[in-house]
Chains A and B, each alone.
Chain A
Amino acid sequence: GESVGLHLPTLSVQEGDNSIINCAYSNSASDYFIWYKQESGKGPQFIIDIRSNMDKRQGQRVTVLLNKTVKHLSLQIAATQPGDSAVYFCAAPSGSARQLTFGSGTQLTVLP
């Protein structure tokens, strides 16, 4: 199966700086990855996804980078804002049923 894990449980950044949240995965056959954002008291919200045939994908202020050689992906948030404060999860399908396995999450705190 797949296991995904985030490198740091917490991350603090200054407002306006860029944030980088990292994630490692174990299954080299994994072909799809998703990043979710979870604000306090709410359910996870889809941010961006990437397939394994890509190295990089950009969205609005967010970029996901995938390094298949070292089985690592990162979420970059440009010009971090207070509204970006949340827990961020990476996830990947695993098992014969291809259900999502989530990492444990990184709490991002944006400092004024």
Chain B
Amino acid sequence: IAGITQAPTSQILAAGRRMTLRCTQDMRHNAMYWYRQDLGLGLRLIHYSNTAGTTGKGEVPDGYSVSRANTDDFPLTLASAVPSQTSVYFCASSPGGGSGTDTQYFGPGTRLTVL
């Protein structure tokens, strides 16, 4: 089934640990995105990639890093997790080059708790 998969579904993590959230899409979309969703704050963009090999910073990039080695995968890494990174993380992709007028398709999310 075409779409976006995220792993893990949920994770409890000790502060200071390193964690990589995985995202894979099989729609051959050019652009991919990582958002975090917190109560009352909606979705906030962390990082994005308009095409394989390029990345950009979103609204809340601090404490996170991404890579885009190929079209399908866009992992998000927390180098040293802190409790304020407790959130639900969504990966998304869009067909074009991230112009903002492409429909973004979202994955099911990863619920991360940092203790």
* Residues in A lying within 8 Å of B, measured CB to CB: 31-32, 34, 41-46, 49, 51, 89, 91, 93-94, 97-105
Contact = CB atoms under 8 A, between A and B. Distances in A.
B106 A44 contact: yes
Nearest to A6: B42
Nearest to A4: B42
Contacts of A44: 43, 90, 106
B106 A43 contact: yes
A99 B103 contact: no
A91 to B, nearest CB: 8
Interface of B: 4, 33, 35, 40-45, 48, 50, 56, 58-59, 90, 92, 98-101, 103-109
B100 A43 contact: no
A78 B108 CA distance: 27
Contacts of A105: 42
Contact of B98 (A34, A99, A101): A99
A89 B58 contact: no
A97 B43 contact: no
B42 A46 contact: no
A98 B43 contact: no
Q: State the main secondary structure of chain A at its contact with B.
A: strand
B98 A98 contact: yes
Contacts of B105: 46
A102 B40 CA distance: 12
B99 A102 contact: no
B49 to A, nearest CB: 11
Contact of B43 (A89, A93, A94): A89
Contacts of A45: 106
A102 to B, nearest CB: 4
Closest 7 CB pairs of A and B: A93-B100, A98-B100, A43-B106, A102-B43, A104-B42, A102-B42, A32-B101
